[in-house]
Amino acid sequence: MMTRDALALAREKGLDLVEVAPGTDPPVSRIMDYGKFLYTQQKKSRDSRKKQSQQQVKEIKLRTKTEDHDLQTKLKKAREFLEDGDRVKVHVKYRGREMAHPELGRAMMAKVVKELEDWGVQIDTGEMMGRALVTVIQPLTKSQIAQRLKAKEEAKAAELEKEGA
């Protein structure tokens, strides 16, 4: 169809002639209400932005002398953050002479990572930033969490069978 014929047909229907694929040979055009088309495109992009979830970074701060009960409380909170889909930044702070024993902080960090392995994966190896040892734990997807918990249960069941036999 010739361009002038298409324009005349569009005007007759009270719509617009819109070039859909200008790079093709011959160029492809459609007769449509361009204002309505723009509105639906904007609405689709708005809806897709609503469905996206922003991943935040939450922090838990520990010291090398943090006791077990306090540590469990902080780990519980970290688990909640990971279940909500947020990253968790773990700080192990050193004060005064504690800097002379960095292995204490590394042991604390390893304990935290071990406790949270069912809910997240450590992204970096843990690095010193001033007087703090810092690492980031990224959450697992719901299916990955279910798989890990199932594997642990199977391992426990196999261990119980082994003991019973």
Confidence of residue 165 (pLDDT cuts 50, 70, 90): low
pTM tops 0.85, yes or no: no
Q: Which of 38-42, 54-58, 144-148 has the highest mean pLDDT?
A: 38-42
State the fold for domain 57-146: Translation Initiation Factor IF3 (3.30.110)
Q: Parallel, antiparallel, or unpaired: how do β-strands 57-63 and 87-93 relate?
A: parallel
- Picking from 36, 75, 35, 70, the residue whose alpha carbon sits closest to that of residue 58 is 75
SS3 120: strand
Which fold would CATH assign to domain 3-51?
Ubiquitin-like (UB roll) (3.10.20)
Domain limits, the chain: 3-51, 57-146
Q: Tell me: the pLDDT tens digits for 122-141? A: 988 888 888 999 999 999 88
Per residue in 72-100, pLDDT (tens digit) is 999 999 999 998 889 999 999 999 888 89
